[in-house]
Structure 1
Amino acid sequence: MKQTRFFLIAMAVAMLAVSCKSQYEMLLNSNDADTKFEAAFKYFDQEKYQKAAALFESLSVLTNGTERDDTVRYYWGLSNYRASDYYTAETNFSDFVESFPRSPFAPQARFLRIDCLYRSTLRYELDQSPTRVAIGAISEYISEYPDNENIKVCNEMLDDLNRRLDTKAYEAARLYYKMEDYIASRVALKNVLKDNSENVYREDILYYIAMSSYKYAHFSVRAKQKERYLTFIDDYLNFIGELPDSPYRKELDVLYRRAQKALGRPVDTELFEDVDEKDFAKERKQLVRDARKEDRKNRKLIEESKEDVVEGAVADEKDINAAEGAEKN
């Protein structure tokens, strides 16, 4: 008896699911624009964005060339955006701004397009081609809409993306230092600053340039140490000249005194002569942790700012209904 009851319940649930699915599919294939329009917004309001997107896509054929055309096309893109299908949404918004440049939805569609590009970028270890595309699009948006309310968020996104490129360049060069190839390390790090003198890791780069030249000299044969220690001293003086209050200063001061002693020059004090490089490892690790913490904080602020902006992209349902009512009357 219990098995029979369970079987009947399961059959009822299955039939209900099939019925609901068939109802949606019938709606999807329907040519009733009004019914489909209302249903699409109903699914959108219920946050069933994939179903809403499919309905808006199907509806776009029926409303092509009508007064509803831009509304349907915009919400098609917005549904894909809310469904986290940023690749499709970017295509939707790109087509939208090209087809409806004067639509009231156009400014927000332009912003959401660049937000899709931003969200499609990859972490710094991976290919940064999407990052460069996003930077170009965001820069163009800022140039075209300098007084737009979204400019603050755009600048934050731009800073984050540029920082990502800076991080990739810096870490790629620093990899040589980790591999103890100090000649390549110094050259690669100097090239990073040559390509972008305002790299956000400039202080760290100058530090590792000096460290590379010191270690290269330190591990060289005695006959070649003098010339190479002189290179380190140049790098050291360049560092303290630009960053006299850097937290790296104390460690480099120690190495400078050691280099001076190796060159047979008088040293003012032997205060740090017995300090080992490992004594500074904890400080360096803390600097890295602080930088990463600040980076996470900035990314969180960007996401919060974007959420506030995106909320404004969704038109109020009452306004839509009122507009549709006026259209019908």
Structure 2
Amino acid sequence: MKKIISIFIILISLTGCGEYQRALNGDDVGKKYEAAVALYEEAQEKGRSNKGKYRKALRLLEQVVPQYRGKPQGEKLSFIYANTYFELGDFSLSGYEFDRFSTSYPRSERAEEAAYKSAKSYYYDSPRYTLDQTSTNQAIQKLQTYINRYPSGEYLDEANELAKELREKLEEKAFEIAKLYYNQGDLFISGYSNYQAAVSAFDNFIVDYPGTPYREKAYYYKFDAQYKYAIGSYELLMADRLKEAKEYFKTLKKYYPEGELTADAEESMTDINERLQQLEK
């Protein structure tokens, strides 16, 4: 009995494969349409794990979507075409196709879902913070557009969380760039010290990300970069640069009087005061 059942299943499978191949290789656009939609809906019922049916549906969709643009079936096909890429994890193409759907069918009942999935496609395409963040900026823009357009939208809470996560990634990258200047402070580029670049970068970082958890570190590294820049200067320039470092220390001390890095800064301040006394003599 088990053998009979197995043979029956294989025969059904082969029949299904044969019908799919005939639709794929044939010239009947209507059959391609029906097969593509059937495969897509079956894959939707079984979940994202059934990628085989999504891939089969995609091969058919690639053939029929252009044939139905501007026709009544075009809206449905355009959405499932974009969503098939999304389900397969091809987020560059799903983002593009959802954008195209939104432009072509702005009043569609699935317009909100398309706008959100477009933004989420860019979110998934965002690389780790050490790499170029063009996709991250695009994702934030798309998510913000969705949030503004659908203030009571179905996906609003998730969109806000995703946007927050991406902003934190940009924040981390900005901090690490400033830290890189600091770590390479002894280098000079076109006569400009990397410590100077670090001071400017940390200054911009503090302005751009006022609520950042890296705020204390940013104030400390800004002070320390100026201190190290000053003590490496010519004697004629050292006093003014040390005095500027003292001002940065005052700001650090004001906001973080008992901060984890304040003690290290105070040790540097002892050296700064001693150097200033010697220079004044």
TM range (shorter): 0.7 to 0.9
Q: 1:26 aligns with which of 13, 22, 25?
A: 22
Aligned to 1:190: 203
Contact 1:27–1:36 (Cα < 8 Å) also in 2: no
Q: 2:114 aligns with which of 109, 116, 128?
A: 109
Q: 2:78 aligns with which of 66, 70, 73?
A: 73
Aligned to 2:273: 260
Aligned to 1:237: 250
Aligned residue for 1:125, secondary structure, equals coil
Q: Distance in 1 between matches of 2:21 and 2:57?
A: 12
Q: 1:54 aligns with which of 59, 81, 91?
A: 59
- 1:139-198 per-residue CA deviation (whole Å, 9 max, x = no partner) reads 11111111113222222222222223223332222222111232332233324445x253
TM-score normalised to structure 2 length: 0.75
Letter in 1 for 2:215: R
Q: 1:128 aligns with which of 113, 124, 133?
A: 133
- 1:222-279 per-residue CA deviation (whole Å, 9 max, x = no partner) reads 55543332222111001121233422122112222332333349xxxxxxxxxxxxxx
Letter in 2 for 1:183: Q
Question: Greater shift after overlay, 184-193 or 94-103?
Answer: 184-193
Aligned ranges 1:1-329 → 2 under 5 Å:
23-28=19-24, 29=26, 30-31=28-29, 32=31, 33-44=33-44, 45=46, 46-48=50-52, 49-60=54-65, 68-181=73-186, 182-193=195-206, 196=208, 198=210, 200=212, 201-220=214-233, 224-264=237-277
Offset at residue 20 of structure 1 (A): 7.6
Change (3 A) 1:68 1:131: same
Question: Greater shift after overlay, 134-143 or 27-36?
Answer: 27-36
Aligned residue for 1:263, secondary structure, equals helix
Contact 1:183–1:213 (Cα < 8 Å) also in 2: yes
Q: Distance in 2 between matches of 1:237 and 1:163?
A: 28
Letter in 2 for 1:38: A
Offset at residue 82 of structure 1 (A): 0.9
Question: RMSD between aligned alpha carbons?
Answer: 3.0
Change (3 A) 1:89 1:260: same
